[in-house]
Structure 1
Amino acid sequence: MRLDGTSAIITGGTRGLGRTIAESFLAEGANVVCAARNPYDVKELIDRHPGRALYQRTDVTDEDSVAELMEAAVAAFGRIDVLVNNAGVSRDGTISRLSTADWNTTVATNLNGVFLCTRAAIRPMQAQGGGRIINLSSCVASRAVAGAAAYSASKAAVEMFTRASALELAHKGITVNCLSPGYIDEGMGKQVAADDRVWESYRKRLLSGRLGRPEEVGAAAVFLAASDSSYVNGHVLEVNGGLQWAA
């Protein structure tokens, strides 16, 4: 129970990797606020962990909504020990076809949302003596992919924001790290694996020869949230099975 008694906020925590991270945290004893625009099937998770999990409707691109999230977490659990900035969207398209609206939506959620949530968490974390912030990036933050300019650029910015935040917040007792998943058996990764021809080209790039399991990302998030990682700060932890971009 490495997170026993701690309180965590996970944005985008009602489905996908955010939901898996929430389950991993709960299994390690944490209290968890699953924040997202939509609840999806999070009620099932809440019912399994009465009094330890709750849903807060949140738009990470809205400053007031983010403030309400922080207030709700403190009201429910008394403190905010861990913030996982997981909420994200992808609007794929070549640059010549990418609309301004899709670019702005991607940046607003993937980058501005991380900034707003991080800034809002500083005061309560500092008041209690510190905390952990974990930002979600992606393998395409450091590897160029045609048709993913908006998503890749936003995630690359998240990695640099992580390093800058770690530098600024260390003296407040707050560590800031980044988790960078590769091709996981969830969402985009599952879609890639569903096409045999496409999957074969990607499989050869993975030293592990397989998709990652969502639980493996959850385990890495637990590590960054727990005392095990107390001397890790400003780091981008890749969980990608040894992804090699050139096969």
Structure 2
Amino acid sequence: MRLSGKTAVITGGTRGLGRAIAERYLREGARVVCAARNPYDIKEVIDLDPDRCAYLPVDVTSDQSVDALMAETVDTFGGVDILVANAGVSRDGRVDRLALDDWRDMVSTNLTGVFLCTRAAVPYLERSDAGRIVTVSSSMATRVAVGAAGYCATKAAVEMFTRVSAIELAPRGILVNALAPGILDEGMGQQVTANDRIWSKYRTRLSLGRPGTGEEAADAAVFLAGPEASYVNGHVLEVNGGLLWS
């Protein structure tokens, strides 16, 4: 129960990796707010412990919506100790064909959304005795992927935002780190593993010969939010099973 007594806000927390992290945090004793535009099948997660889990709607591209999320979390659970800035989107397209709206969607969700959530959470996190921010990047932040310029660029920006935030917020008792998953069998990774043509190409790049699980990535998210990471700050933790990239 490494997160017992802590309250975590997880954006994009109703499906994919966000949901896996929510379930893992609940098992570690945390109170969890699963925040997203849509609830999807979040009732299954809430049913694990209705007293410690809630769904709150949020649009991470809107400062008013994000501010309201943090305030409502405090009203519901009394505070905020952990922010997992997980909400993200991916739009395929080579740079000469990528639609401007798709580019803007990735920047506003993947990057501006992390900034807005971080900024809104700080006044609450600094009241905690162990404030934590876990941003969610990707192994593609540091690797070239044809047709993924927008996604790669925004995730690379998230990692630098994480490092700067870590230095700025440390004096206020808030640690900021990034989780960078490789190919998982959750969320966006399912689009890779479900396509035989694409999967045959990427499978050879996995030294373990398989995608990671949401639970394996969620374990790392527990570490970054928990007491064992009390001297880890500004770090990007890759969870990719030994991803080979050429």
TM range (shorter): over 0.9
Please say which of residues 41-50 and 215-224 is displaced more in the overlay: 41-50
Task: Provide the TM-score with structure 2 as the length reference.
Answer: 0.97
Q: Which amino acid aligns with 2:215?
A: E
> Superposition RMSD on alpha carbons, in Å?
1.0
3-state SS of 2:8 partner = strand
Q: Which amino acid aligns with 2:72?
A: A
Q: Which residue matches 1:15?
A: 15
3-state SS of 1:127 partner = coil
Counterpart Cα distance in 2 of 1:29 and 1:128 = 16
**Is contact 2:184-2:214 (8 Å) kept?**
yes
**Is contact 1:18-1:86 (8 Å) kept?**
yes
Q: Which amino acid aligns with 1:98?
A: L
User: Per-residue CA shift, 1:113-140, capped at 9, x if unaligned?
Assistant: 0000000111111133440000000111
Residue 245 of structure 2 is aligned to residue 216 of structure 1: no
CA drift at 1:39: 0.4
Counterpart Cα distance in 1 of 2:108 and 2:83 = 18
Counterpart Cα distance in 2 of 1:110 and 1:232 = 23
Structural mapping, 1:112-151, within 5 Å: 112-151=112-151
Q: Which residue matches 1:53?
A: 53
Counterpart Cα distance in 2 of 1:172 and 1:149 = 35
CA drift at 1:194: 2.6
**Is contact 1:223-1:229 (8 Å) kept?**
yes
Q: Which amino acid aligns with 1:106?
A: M
**Is contact 1:129-1:172 (8 Å) kept?**
no
3-state SS of 1:9 partner = strand
User: Per-residue CA shift, 1:186-236, capped at 9, x if unaligned?
Assistant: 233222223334323212211111110110011000000100111110000
Please say which of residues 156-165 and 188-197 is displaced more in the overlay: 188-197
Q: Which residue matches 1:240?
A: 240
Q: Which residue matches 2:37?
A: 37
Counterpart Cα distance in 1 of 2:196 and 2:67 = 45
Counterpart Cα distance in 1 of 2:188 and 2:33 = 25
Residue 198 of structure 2 is aligned to residue 198 of structure 1: yes
CA drift at 1:241: 0.6
Which runs of 5 or more structure 1 residues have no equivalent in the other structure? none
Counterpart Cα distance in 2 of 1:192 and 1:66 = 31
User: Per-residue CA shift, 1:155-199, capped at 9, x if unaligned?
Assistant: 000000000000100000000000000000123322222333432
Counterpart Cα distance in 1 of 2:47 and 2:130 = 30
Q: Which residue matches 2:4?
A: 4
Please list every run of at least 4 consecutive aligned residues from structure 1 whose deviation after the TM superposition is greater than 3 angstroms. Answer: none
Q: Which amino acid aligns with 1:215?
A: E
3-state SS of 1:4 partner = coil
Quick one: percent identity of the two aligned structures?
Answer: 61
Aligned length: 246
Which runs of 5 or more structure 2 residues have no equivalent in the other structure? none
Counterpart Cα distance in 1 of 2:60 and 2:203 = 34
Q: Which residue matches 1:108?
A: 108
3-state SS of 1:231 partner = coil
**Is contact 2:15-2:187 (8 Å) kept?**
no
Counterpart Cα distance in 2 of 1:173 and 1:42 = 32
Task: Provide the TM-score with structure 1 as the length reference.
Answer: 0.97
**Is contact 2:92-2:147 (8 Å) kept?**
yes
